[in-house]
């Protein structure tokens, strides 16, 4: 993959970057969105493909992008297709900072050192060329305004922007309500983007990523080990749900 074109994680981050404050909107969910954007970018590059609700590596050849190739190698090491929601819900500490540092090296943003409450050191990032962010935003605006099905890259970007909650950042207030609704609707135009966007929202909603089980036989109770019938929960007491081991992403 050449470096002439920005990747989806980079575009998503530039969309989230507030030009006034130098901070990113929706920082916690944005970390999840960046992990999801990596999956979509790898799919667009032909390296991975959806397999139901799982992600399978189909071509393990590196893309030439170090951050994407790290994700590709981790997927390859799994040895079997991985559930999208499990991948996105895994630890992603430092991913946002990795992309911010990359954008700085590319000259698209510059770091501004500061302090919080006059004590804690902080770093904000200002875009060096707002034309880039405007071009990305214009693609979304065009898809929303015209209703013409966008290209897969723009459709996936729209799906991810909706999934991480950037709609209110991009189209605020009551006047932006219809635009936010149309942004959400663009999720259907790219299957991979839709799969990843729904996985991002599932992680945020705490939906356990457990495979669906076959329904129990219609007659009789399932047998427990040793041939005894499994006990039913006491009447009026709900069975305890399985608690997932999904990791919570920590904001930086």
The pLDDT of residue 173 is above 90:
yes
What confidence tens digit (pLDDT) does each residue in 60-110 have? Answer: 999 999 999 999 999 999 999 999 999 999 887 789 999 999 999 988 888
Given this model, what pLDDT does residue 127 score?
82
Q: Check residue 88 and give its pLDDT.
A: 94
Give DSSP secondary structure letters for 78-138.
H-S-EEHHHHHHS--TTHHHHHHHHHHHTTSEEEEEEEETTTEEEEEEEES-HHHHHHHHH
- pTM reported for the whole predicted model: 0.77
């Amino acid at each position: 993959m050449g470096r002439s074109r920005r990747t989806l994680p980079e575009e998503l981050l530039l969309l989230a970057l507030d030009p006034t404050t130098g901070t990113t909107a929706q920082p916690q969910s944005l970390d999840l969105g960046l992990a999801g954007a990596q999956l979509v970018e790898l799919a667009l590059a032909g390296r991975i493909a959806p397999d139901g609700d799982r992600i399978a590596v189909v071509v393990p050849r590196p893309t030439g992008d170090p951050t994407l190739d790290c994700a590709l190698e981790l997927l390859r090491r799994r040895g079997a297709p991985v559930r999208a929601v499990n991948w996105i819900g895994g630890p992603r500490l430092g991913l946002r900072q990795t992309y911010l540092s990359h954008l700085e090296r590319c000259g698209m943003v510059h770091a501004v050192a500061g302090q919080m409450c006059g004590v804690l050191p902080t770093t904000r990032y200002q875009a060096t060329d707002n034309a880039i962010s405007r071009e990305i935003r214009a693609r979304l605006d065009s898809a929303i305004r015209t209703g013409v099905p966008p290209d897969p890259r723009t459709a996936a970007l729209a799906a991810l922007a909706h999934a991480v909650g950037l709609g209110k950042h991009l189209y605020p207030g009551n006047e932006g309500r219809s635009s936010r609704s149309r942004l959400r609707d663009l999720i259907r135009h790219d299957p991979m983007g839709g799969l990843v966007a729904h996985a991002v929202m599932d992680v945020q909603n705490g939906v356990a990523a457990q495979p669906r089980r076959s329904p129990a036989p219609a007659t009789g109770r399932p047998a427990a080990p040793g041939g005894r019938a499994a006990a039913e929960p006491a009447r009026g007491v709900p069975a305890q749900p399985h608690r997932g081991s999904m990791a919570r992403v920590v904001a930086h």
